[in-house]
Structure 1
Amino acid sequence: MLTDEQRSVFEEIMAAVNGDNGGIFFLYGYGGTGKTFLWKTLSAAIRSKGQIVLNVASSGIASLLLDGGRTAHSRFHIPLNLTEDSVCNIKPESDVSKLLHETKLIIWDEAPMVHKHAFEALDRTMNDVFNIDPSLNSDIRFGGKVIVFGGDFRQILPVVPNGGRQEIVNASLCSSYLWSKCKLLRLTRNMRLTVGRSTADIEEINSFAKWLLDLGEGNVGGPNDGEATIQIPQDLMITDESDPIASLIDFVYPSILLLSMFPGEEREYLSSDSLCPTEDVNATQQRIYSPDVLNGLKIFGLPNHRLVLKVGVPVMLLRNIDQRNGLCNGTRLQVKKLYNRVIEAEIISGANIGTSTYIPRINLIPSDKKIPFAFQRRQFPLSVCFAMTINKSQGQSLSRVGLYLKQSVFSHGQLYVALSRVKTRDGVKLLILDNNGKPTDKTSNVVYKEIFNEL
């Protein structure tokens, strides 16, 4: 069932695994070229011999596509706040260490979206766990195991708080000392757009695929040295303000208006916020950081103090709770029943669509280094979700996408990610507003071309 391209990649990786001499590979392919299918084939081939493959991904949503997938941070105990000297929290005699010794292959999907310090921390840790002589470190990486990274550098790069172009490019995997040891493998044939289509449609489909690639590489709209204005094809546009989709999108940001359109009574859940017991709290701090002050904090990745829900409302999970059953950061659900201590919901995205689950209140501690004190919020890890950001959509495959650009994209790959989530050309529609709030077919595209220099 493999294409010639996929078979060539498969045989090269399997040769490295069977040779038992280690190796680092990077499988470069845009969305729809069959990377996930290749990961499953590799996993099945190795596991059929009773050997171990570790499948990890950079996000919870991407990990759900892999057999036995986990996020890389949870599997390898990678610190959340990374530095150039970070190491993973793996002890030499721990269960994770023993697992790594037995592992034949590590697959890490969506690698370009993670900071290079995460890969370097795993490299240092595995060499330490495997007792690799430091003098040989330049030749042996990841403890001599075979590791395969996968992804697309056209997509969003690591998020660097308050970082500019230089900091973001410098944080990417291709700027790491590990990159020179990576063997680059490629997949170029788009399988997603052509599956099940007639021969007559193939030419149009290939034209759309090529336009997406040119968009991702900054070859649309003339010279692009970071940012260029491009024109979107008319068949992808919503230009009429009376269009039902356009009128619906107007309600996205004041989501309280959409919430009021659902029948039934609202249910309000308030969080319990407090300073962490580990903090050395004195009386002055307790007065400064009173519960009222903590309640007013709105922090990325943390549910708000006040959560208002109704039965039938779509919500998004903000934490990895149970990845095996599809409950991870980014999973979308629909509220079915509202209780005092749990919320019953049905999964409406991913491979577990239709599964009912119960979401409890949990203690959440923000990892943001800007907060000068440690506090915890006990709340349901949910957010009302009538729309999602482009960054949140990375790693997801969707049948239909409505892209609302009230403001232009501002970082590498965002426009490409948004437009490449769909399986078909007619599955995406855009509503773009100019500075006067009027619909337009022109928008900005941000591409840092130096990221492709090493590819």
Structure 2
Amino acid sequence: MVGCYTSGIASLLLPNGRTAHSRFKIPLNIIENFVCNIKPGSPQAILLLKAKLIIWDEAPMVSRYCYEALDKCLGDIIRCSLTYNKDLPLGEKVVVLGGDFRQIFSVILRGSRQDIVHSTVNSSYLWKFCQVLKLTKNMRLSVGMTALDQDETEEFGEWLLKVGDSLIGDNMDARTILAPTLDIVEEVNNHLMAIIPGGEKLYLSSYSICMDEGNVESQLDLYGSELLNSINCFGLPPHKLILKVGIPVMLLRNIDQSSGLCKGTRLQVRKLGNHVIEYEVLTGNNVGHIALIPRMNMVSTNETVPVRFQRRQFLIIVSFSMIINKSQGQTLFHVGLYLPKLVFTHGQLYVALSRVKSKRGLKVLLMNHVKMSANSTINIIYREVFEKIIF
């Protein structure tokens, strides 16, 4: 069996769990007709050749091109087999895709609604080979549920499904830790950092232009340090990183999977050194593990950045708050949802509201939006995605 998750933090839920991109060597910036970087005869190819079952969780969250890349790769690996049937997909393997189409889909940079819907797995040529099976029990809500909580929990579960199907609205007051965009998350983090007692330490990054950009000297003249240091985009640590002992942070890249140090892992700062920082792991199976992490190099892959450059910095961000997309796959005891701006894509509101086990663990703070009535917000659902799926 081969098991994998779409998100890094979710992969920590399985012993020796891996992300799909790591396990199948799928390119990060994938487009149509890309293939997995697995060579026939390699250990990775031998593992896939022997596998009888592949389990891939959070399937709707990843682009259809990832599954199609795996289909082409498995076809190449198994093509030499005497029993190979080219009319069957995914190398004739049994593949179980888990996930909820009410949740957030793959992020398409500057993509329209049509682009996002087209990228989902049920828009792939592979979908005609899929059999849809329904899970009807919300396991997140049932864990630790008492007889006294049963009615309230069942009511909350039904309400969440109606939110996910865009069949209901509700009014709530509150405060927050989840937000729809990075700028709002940064605003919350900066506010909480300012009121936390203790001395702070500033870490500045260094940078270099990637050598594959051709004439490096002309690039340096065109893009100076002031511009490159000001770039702050998703997945890249900031140039100015301000930390205090005791604050929570989140890893931006996989560092040591065996120790639970994966992308999305939350840590608590214990000691601030000049060259390394000591952390305690707060999530996953390695809770309480102490880790020393140095500065590392990270190359920007964001298409909106005008030049590819390498930033050397601690691969973390302050994490009092996080974006809704990053919370997908996690179960939390208490969630506050802060919406000074409206959610902007399919499933965001549903994901944020469904991170908790009960309605009592959920608080929402809504700002007054233009043309919106008091105590209400928009819920974006792409109903056409549900056309081939019967809930």
- Whether contact under 8 Å (1:156, 1:391) holds in the other structure is yes
Partners of 2:142 and 2:59 in 1: CA distance:
26
**Are the aligned partners of 1:398 and 1:423 in contact in 2 as well (CA < 8 Å)?**
yes
Give distance in 1, aligned partners of 2:347 and 2:232: 27
Match of 2:7 among 59, 63, 67: 59
- The one-letter amino acid paired with 1:278 is D
Which residue of structure 2 lines up, in the alignment, with residue 285 of structure 1?
219
Return the match for 1:231 from 153, 170, 174. Answer: 170
Match of 1:309 in 2: 243
State the shift of 1:198 in Å. 3.5
Does 2:114 align with 1:155?
A: no
Summarize the Cα distance change of 1:66–1:119 in structure 2 as closer, same or farther, 3 Å threshold: same
1:224 aligned partner: none
Aligned-pair CA distance for 1:324: 2.7
What is the match of residue 130 of structure 2?
182
1:351 to 263, 270, 285: 285
Cα distance in structure 2, aligned partners of 1:117 and 1:377: 29
| Alignment partners' CA distance in 2, 1:63 and 1:434 | 38
Contact 1:231 1:443 in 2 (8 A): no
When residues 328 and 439 of structure 1 are mapped into structure 2, their CA distance, relative to the original with a 3 A threshold, is farther
- Of 267, 288, 293, the residue aligned with 2:201 is 267
Question: Is 1:395 equivalent to 2:329 in the alignment?
Answer: yes
- Residue 47 (structure 2) pairs with residue 99 (structure 1): yes
Report 1:316-331 matches (<5 A).
316-331=250-265
Q: CA deviation at 1:84?
A: 1.0
> In structure 1, what is the Cα distance between the partners aligned to 2:188 and 2:225?
27
Percent identity over the alignment is 50
- Give the equivalent residue in structure 2 for 1:110: 58
Question: Residue type of the partner of 2:265?
Answer: T
Greater C-alpha radius of gyration: 1
Structure 1 segment 50-449 matched on structure 2, within 5 A: 53-131=1-79, 139-220=87-168, 230-232=169-171, 234=172, 237-238=173-174, 245=175, 253=187, 255-435=189-369, 440-449=374-383
Task: Compute the displacement of 1:137 (Å).
Answer: 6.8
Q: Provide closer, same or farther for how the CA distance between residues 306 and 108 of structure 1 changes in structure 2, counting only shifts above 3 A.
A: same
Task: Please state how far the C-alpha of 1:251 moved relative to its aligned partner.
Answer: 10
RMSD: 2.4
Note the C-alpha offset of 1:267. Answer: 1.1
Aligned partners of 2:189 and 2:321 also within 8 Å = no
In the TM superposition, what is the alpha-carbon distance from 1:151 to its structure 2 partner?
A: 0.4
State the distance in 2 between where 1:94 and 1:368 align.
Answer: 31
Contact 2:176/2:336, CA 8 A, preserved across alignment: no
Report Cα offsets for 1:372-393 as digits up to 9, x if no partner: 4321111101111110111110
Partners of 2:243 and 2:132 in 1: CA distance:
48
8 Å CA contact retained: 2:176, 2:364 = no
Amino acid aligned to 2:132: L
Determine the C-alpha separation between the residues in 2 that align with 1:435 and 1:369: 31
2:156/2:358 contact within 8 Å kept: no
Give the counterpart letter for 1:292 in structure 2.
Answer: E
Count of matched residue pairs: 382
SS at match of 1:367: coil
1:325 counterpart letter in structure 2: S
TM-score, normalised relative to structure 2: 0.91
Distance 2:153 2:38 in 1: 47
Normalised TM-score (structure 1): 0.79
Q: 1:440 to 1:253 in 2, by over 3 A?
A: farther
User: Deviation at 1:219?
Assistant: 1.4
Matched with 1:4 is none
Shift in Å at residue 252 of structure 1?
7.1
Cα separation, 1, equivalents of 2:296 and 2:217? 27
Alignment CA distance shift 1:138-1:446 (3 Å): farther
3-state SS in 1 of match to 2:377 = strand
SS of the residue 2:55 aligns to: strand
Structure 1 residue 150 displacement after superposition: 0.5
Change (3 A) 1:264 1:104: same
C-alpha separation between the residues in 2 aligned to 1:252 and 1:160?
A: 22
Q: CA deviation at 1:92?
A: 0.6
Q: Distance in 2 between matches of 1:66 and 1:81?
A: 25
Per the alignment, do residues 440 and 316 of structure 1 end up closer, same or farther by CA in structure 2, a change over 3 Å counting? Answer: farther
- Contact 2:188 2:320 (C-alpha < 8 Å) held by counterparts: no
Residue of structure 2 in register with 1:15 after alignment: none
Aligned residues of 2:207 and 2:311 also touching (Cα < 8 A): yes
Q: Return the alpha-carbon distance in structure 1 between the equivalents of residues 221 and 279 of structure 2.
A: 38
TM-superposed deviation, 1:441:
2.3
Which amino acid is 1:334 matched to?
Q
Residue 50 of structure 1 corresponds to which residue in structure 2? none
Query: Does the aligned pair in 2 maintain the 1:54–1:107 contact within 8 Å?
Result: yes
Structure 1 residues 201 and 265, CA, compared in 2 at 3 Å: closer, same or farther?
closer
Provide Cα deviations, 1:307-341, integer angstroms capped at 9, x if missing partner: 11111111111111122322122211111001111
